[in-house]
Amino acid sequence: MSAPRTEPLPSVDQVLSHLGVDDVHHARVRALAQRLYGHVFRTVDGRMLYEVEQILWSEIDRLGIHDEQGDLATALIAEALFRVGHDPERCHDSIPLGVTPAEQIAAAYEDDCLLCRHELREAIARESGQRCGELEHARPDAEWIECQEAAADAWRARHVDALRRFGLA
C-alpha cells in the first residue's frame, strides 16, 4: 500500500478547467463519467463491501461514536474508494507471485482491528475450500430462486434489444 497523499486531489471539474476544456467536451466527459461508473461498479464486490461496512459500523461503535444512520461509515468507505482510484499501486502488483491473499492480509494485520480479523478469516476459508463445502451443503430456497428467476426474466425483457444485438436473447 502506498503512502497516503497529503495534498487534496483535484476534482474532475477542476482538471477539466485546468485543461481548458470547452462546454461540449465537458458534457462528453460527464457522459463518459456516467458510463465509467457502471464499469467500476461492476468491478467492486458489492456484497463484500457491504460486509466491510457492517464491520466498520462495529469499529466506529467501539470508538464510542454513535453513527446510527451510517453517515460516517459511508463517508469512510467513499474516501477509501476515492483513494484507491488515485493509488499508484492500482496499476501494478507489488506483491510477488505465489504470495497468497491470506499472507498479504496477515502481513498488514492489526490485532485489535475487527476488519483485519474478518478479512483474514474469509481469506483462509476461501483458500481452504471451506466456502465451496458450505455452498454444497446449503439448501436452496425454492421460493427465493423462483423470485430471482422472475426478476431476471423481467430484467431481460427490459434489455431485450441490447441483448439481442449481441446474440444473448
Is the CB of residue 77 less than 8 Å from the CB of residue 51? no
Identify the pLDDT of residue 64: 94
pLDDT at 137 > cutoff 80: no
The reply to whether 132 and 161 lie within a common domain is no
Q: Tell me, yes or no, whether 124 lies in a domain.
A: yes
The reply to whether 100 and 133 lie within a common domain is yes
Structural domain for 134, as ranges: 95-138
Q: Tell me, yes or no, whether 102 lies in a domain.
A: yes
Q: Tell me, yes or no, whether 40 lies in a domain.
A: no
Q: Does the predicted model carry a pTM greater than 0.85?
A: no
**What is the average per-residue pLDDT within 9-24?**
90
Identify the pLDDT of residue 132: 67
Cα torsion 55, 59, 65, 71 to 10°: value is -40
- If phi > 0 it is left, if psi is from -120 to 50 it is alpha, else beta; for residue 20 that is left
What are the respective helix, strand and coil percentages of the chain, to the nearest 5? 70, 0, 30
The reply to whether 154 and 134 lie within a common domain is no
pLDDT tens figures, 142-155: 888 888 899 999 99
pLDDT tens figures, 69-114: 989 999 999 889 888 888 888 887 778 888 888 888 888 899 998 8
Q: What is the mean pLDDT of the chain?
A: 86
Q: Tell me, yes or no, whether 1 lies in a domain.
A: no
pLDDT at 3 > cutoff 60: no
- For the chain, the domain total comes to 2
